[in-house]
Amino acid sequence: MAEQDEPIAAPGRGEEPTAAELAAMERAAALAWDSAGRTSPNPPVGAVILDVDGHRVGEGATQPAGLEHAEVMALRQAGRAALGGTAVVTLEPCNHQGRTGPCSEALIEAGVARVVFAVPDPNPRAAGGAQRLSEAGVSVLGSVGQAEVARAAIGPWLFAVSQSRPFVTWKFAGTLDGRSSAPDGTSKWITNAVSRADVHALRDRVDAIVVGSGTVLVDDPQLTVRGVRGAADGELVARQPLRVVLDRRHRVPADAQIFDDAAETIRLDTAVPRFALKALYDRGVRHVLLEGGATLAGAFLEARLIDEVVGYLAPTLLGAGSAVLRGAGITTMSEAVTLDVSEVARMGDDVKIVGRPRWASGQEE
């Protein structure tokens, strides 16, 4: 997918994207990013409408499942100004009557003269929008900025639908020497406030947070999103991800914080990562954040079910205590899992590192 960076034009209608269209695509990608975590099982998509003169007259993002697609939101805002204009969308407009009407028809009806999109729709039920539009005389340009867009908001969704399981991000916080707690079990506040706020922003973009029963019994975490998206410090954000505890033996008591009414929570009666992911996919989950503990993360890694790693490291040394990762089945250096690193960021004095296990990097391509 990343190789196809060359824009593909519909037959006979090839034109380079204009500067205004490229800028609109960047804006559409930002709108999509903003809707991440709020659209599943639908993809987070962004759309911008330019009028005949290339001015932005409408924008929108995918609404929660069953509600409007991005194009419809943007067209609504543009009104009559869409006539003769251009729609710039991060995903190929759909061509099907699903829970909402086909976006291809909505664009044709609004009199849009040109459609520029980034990623072709891999869903066979919805695909065909580009063809329908060009048959109706609309100039269509696809794969504009595809690689960038696919790497951002819609990436986990694309991966999930191609693999029929959610994309898994494993997040951990540890000391510089890779410990998540001291020998006496204390573990509070290893990383600083900047890192912790960043974790909330990460939770805000996923559909579900998964933990093992051991983590709940030891830490009693709440696993909610607080203090981001304009919510005051410590205050709950309106949309909360599903909380999931893998608890085959029903060890987690009903008064654990994850069962409070701040968000929905489910208990899965399995310790097998693959079954857990299948159950979550069937519920519409497309992006999972795995938050612990070390043994569960090891099981996911051994099964090659970790697609992205987000690690927060504090400049602290413990020399003893639990490791952030355990039991991944690795015995020798040649079996070590290497990450292709996409981000290294300073979080105050902590360091955040983001990467994809090498085996996963090419999977969706």
> Smallest gap, in angstroms, from Cβ of residue 284 to ligand AOF?
11
Fill in the amino acid letter for 298: G
Which residues contact ligand AOF by CB under 6 A? 42-43, 45, 62, 69-71, 91, 93-94, 98-100, 103, 121, 123, 126
Question: Considering CB distances under 5 to 8 angstroms, the limit depending on partner class, which of Zn ion, ligand AOF, none binds residue 45?
Answer: ligand AOF
Runs of H (alpha helix) within the chain? 19-35, 70-78, 103-109, 129-135, 146-151, 155-163, 193-204, 213-219, 273-282, 294-302, 358-361
DSSP, residue by residue, 5-44: -S-EEPTT---PPPHHHHHHHHHHHHHHHHHTTSSTTS--
Torsion 60-285-200-364 (CA) sign: negative
Phi, psi at 257, each rounded to 5°:
-60, -30
Angle of helix 19-35 versus helix 70-78 axis, rounded to 10: 120
**Among the residue ranges 67-75, 161-169, 232-240, 299-307, the one whose residues contact Zn ion (CB under 5 A):** 67-75
69 sits near Zn ion (criterion: CB under 5 A): yes
> Smallest gap, in angstroms, from Cβ of residue 95 to ligand AOF?
8
Angle of helix 294-302 versus helix 273-282 axis, rounded to 10: 90
Question: Considering CB distances under 5 to 8 angstroms, the limit depending on partner class, which of ligand AOF, Zn ion, none binds residue 77?
Answer: none
Nearer to Zn ion, 132 or 165 (CB): 132
Q: Which residues are catalytic?
A: 71
Nearer to ligand AOF, 70 or 276 (CB): 70
> Smallest gap, in angstroms, from Cβ of residue 238 to ligand AOF?
20
Nearer to Zn ion, 161 or 360 (CB): 161
> Smallest gap, in angstroms, from Cβ of residue 42 to ligand AOF?
4
Nearer to Zn ion, 69 or 165 (CB): 69
Chain position carrying tokens 């990013």: 33
Chain position carrying tokens 């009407």: 101
**Near Zn ion by CB under 5 A: residue from 82, 94, 110, 299:** 94
**Near Zn ion by CB under 5 A: residue from 103, 141, 211, 306:** 103
Chain position carrying tokens 């927060």: 312
